[in-house]
Amino acid sequence: MLLTSFGHACFSVEIEGNTILFDPFITPNQLAASIDINTIEADYIFVSHGHSDHIADCVSIAKRTGAKVVCAFEVAEWLKKQGVENTHPMNTGGKWSFEFGTVKCVVAHHSGGLPDGSYGGNPLGFLFMTPEENFYYAGDTALTLDMQLIPRWAELNFCILPIGDNFTMDVKDAIIAADFLKCHVIVGVHYNTFGFIKIDTQEAVAAFKVAGKTLLLPEIGQTIEL
C-alpha cells in the first residue's frame, strides 16, 4: 500500500484503485509550500475533526475533485453550507462498507470545533479494513484505553499516530498506543509544523526502535510503501 505525506497530519493512501486523502491542511502550512494542491487527486477525503489544521483545504479539494468526504455528521452539515454536497456522515462506533473496504469510526479524545467556531461533533479515529491491508488512523487524540479494542476488530499492518505532544499524544504515549494496538509499524504525524509541537525526530525514531517498533517519518511530498 502506498502512502504519500503532504505534511502535518495530511496524507493519502492508495487502496483498490482509490486515492484516499486525510485531513487536508496544506496551503496554510509553510512547510508544505512545495505542494500544489491543484495536483492532488482524491476519490475520498476522510476528515478526523473540524479544526482548521485538518480541514483547511477540504472544501477546495472536494469541489475540484468531486471526492466523497467522510466525517462526523456535524462536519458534514458544515461542509454542505460551504457547497460540498458529496458527503458521508458517520459517528463513533459506526462502520460502513465502501468500494475499497470497510471503515469503522473509533474514539479520539480531543476537541472538535469548526473554523467559524461552530460545533464540530466528536473527533474520530478511523479503522480501515481492506482487501489489501488493515490500518488505523488515530486522528488527533490522547492515549486512551479504547485503543485496546482495535485488535479485536482487525489485525493491523500499520497505524498512523500523532507524536507531537501538547495537543495530542507524545512519543512515549504513542509507543504505549502501538502496544495497545499490537502494531509494530507506525507512521508519525502532527509534529514540527509549529512551535507547540516541535520534537527531536531522531530521538523519536530511536525510542520506537528500543521498543521494538519502526517509526516512519516520511518527508513532505514523499511516497512510501507499507
pLDDT in tens, 152-200: 999 999 999 999 999 999 999 999 999 999 999 999 999 999 999 999 9
Q: Which residues are within 8 A (CB) of 1 and not within 5 positions of it... i.e. 6 or more apart?
A: 13, 14, 15, 132, 133, 135, 157, 225, 226
Q: Place 125 in a pLDDT band, splitting at 50, 70 and 90.
A: very high
The pLDDT, as a whole number, for residue 153 is 98
- With contact defined as beta carbons under 8 Å apart, do 139 and 123 qualify? yes
Question: Which stretches of 6-123 are assigned E, i.e. beta strand?
Answer: 11-15, 18-22, 44-46, 68-72, 87-90, 95-98, 101-107
Q: Which residues pair with 190 in a beta bridge?
A: none
Q: In Å, how far are 68, 71, 76, 98, 144 from 88, measured between CA atoms?
A: 7, 7, 7, 10, 26
The answer, as to whether pTM is greater than 0.85, is: yes
CA–CA distances in Å: residue 220 to residues 10, 128, 178, 192? 9, 23, 23, 12
Element housing 59 (H / E): helix 58-65
Q: Write out the three cell numbers for 141.
A: 487524540
Give the pLDDT of residue 168: 98
Report the distance separating Cα 53 and Cα 205, nearest Å.
24
Please name the helix (run of DSSP H) or strand (run of DSSP E) that holds residue 157, with its range, or none. none
What's the mean per-residue pLDDT of the chain? Answer: 98
If we measure between CA atoms, which residue out of 23, 17, 2 comes closest to residue 98? Answer: 17
Q: What angle do CA 45, 48, 51 make, to 5 degrees?
A: 105
The CA-CA-CA angle for residues 157, 145, 143, to 5°, reads 75
- How does pLDDT run across 59-103, given as a tens digit for each residue? 999 999 999 999 999 999 999 999 999 999 999 999 999 999 999
